[in-house]
Amino acid sequence: MDEEMAALDANATWELVALPKDKKTIRCNWVYKVKHNADGSVNKYKTRLVPKGYAQTYGIDCEETYNPIAKMITIRTIIVITIAKGWLLHQMDVKNVFLHGDLQEEVYMEQPPGYVDQTHPNLVYRLKKVLYSLKQAPRTWSDKIGQYLITSGFQTSNANFSLYVKKTDHGIVVIVIYVDDLIITRDSDINIFDLKKLLKQKFEMKDLGELRYFLSIDVI
């Protein structure tokens, strides 16, 4: 929980303010999860501070709430193609994924349980970054990384907006996005590591190396 709060503070996620008279706050709580490896062993323990997004009102503190993610048929197709052609298949994980999205609407949240500022207990957080479970969270992240990839020369697929393809002098590069997980492949190992380096410079990511386990799929 301390690590989560430290990450939120480091990303300038919010500011303590007095609640405007015409605004309302949403509550929040802590969510705990154990992530496992493919063999069932414990990978890590995760804690998230989660606003109660269901209390948001469309047109007041949220607008568009679509959530584009890669289709399973797309993921399976990419895996099959890479195996058939012998391409590299790598995976990256975005840390605190939704914090990368910029919040446009005014959203006020109560101070987290266990972390109330004792000198200002009556103040609330005005969110500047998107948190998990806010209705607009998936959209803002998708827009953020999508804009970056497009400006970097990628094109989206008409069949799946979470599939990005780039043609270069060295061949083709493919990126599939499933929320905070990225699958990256190309027809040559030239520059694939440079691409991952560029992504890590723009977004805080963890390089998971070659794809081994993804959405309950073992890749051997």
Cβ of 134: how many Cβ atoms within 10 Å?
27
Q: In which band, very low, low, confident or very high, does the pLDDT at 190 lie, cut at 50, 70 and 90?
A: low
Q: In which band, very low, low, confident or very high, does the pLDDT at 62 lie, cut at 50, 70 and 90?
A: very low
Q: In which band, very low, low, confident or very high, does the pLDDT at 56 lie, cut at 50, 70 and 90?
A: very low
129 close to 135: Cβ distance less than 8 angstroms: no
Could you give the CA distance from residue 28 to residue 87 in angstroms, rounded to a whole number? 44
State the average pLDDT over residues 190-212. 81
Q: In which band, very low, low, confident or very high, does the pLDDT at 106 lie, cut at 50, 70 and 90?
A: confident
Range picked from 32-36, 132-136, 189-193 for highest mean pLDDT: 32-36
Could you give the CA distance from residue 188 to residue 171 in angstroms, rounded to a whole number? 7
State the average pLDDT over residues 106-120. 89
State the average pLDDT over residues 189-196. 75
- Specify the pLDDT at position 18: 92
Per-residue pLDDT reduced to its tens digit, 66-80:
566 788 888 889 889
In the predicted structure, residue 61 carries a pLDDT above the cut 50:
no
Q: In which band, very low, low, confident or very high, does the pLDDT at 53 lie, cut at 50, 70 and 90?
A: low
Q: In which band, very low, low, confident or very high, does the pLDDT at 8 lie, cut at 50, 70 and 90?
A: confident
- Specify the pLDDT at position 97: 61
In the predicted structure, residue 115 carries a pLDDT above the cut 90:
yes
In the predicted structure, residue 26 carries a pLDDT above the cut 70:
yes
Among residues 45, 21, 67, 51, which one has the least CA distance to residue 161?
Answer: 67
% of the chain at pLDDT higher than 90? 10
Could you give the CA distance from residue 138 to residue 154 in angstroms, rounded to a whole number? 20
- Specify the pLDDT at position 138: 67
Could you give the CA distance from residue 196 to residue 193 in angstroms, rounded to a whole number? 5
